[in-house]
Amino acid sequence: MALDRISPIGHARTDYGFAMVAHLVAAAFSGRGSCPDIETFLPFAKAEEQDPGPPKSRSEAKRLAAELIGWAKGLGATVTPKR
């Protein structure tokens, strides 16, 4: 994973390449100083920013666990909660 941040391989590299092209086009057609940053065109950069991290309280953890169990059951899984 650390290597992917230094030198992306696969889809991340393709996304970065297309982001550079989109940034170049945006820079060509925008006024001086109004060009958006390249991060605007990187979908995976936004996903990392929106990660809420671990639950902050026990009640939030229980709510998230119940939601996850609901999704699993909805997909047909048999869930036996640990007691």
Question: For the stretch 40-50, what's the b/e string if a residue is b when 16 or more beta carbons lie within 10 angstroms of its beta carbon?
Answer: ebbeeeeeeee
Taking only the tens place, the pLDDT of each residue in 50-83 is 556 777 888 888 888 888 888 888 888 888 867 6
Taking only the tens place, the pLDDT of each residue in 27-44 is 888 877 777 887 888 876
Q: Mean pLDDT throughout 13-33? A: 83
Place 25 in a pLDDT band, splitting at 50, 70 and 90: confident
What is the value of pTM for the model shown? 0.42
> Has residue 4 got a pLDDT over 70?
no
Domain boundaries, the chain: 1-51, 53-83
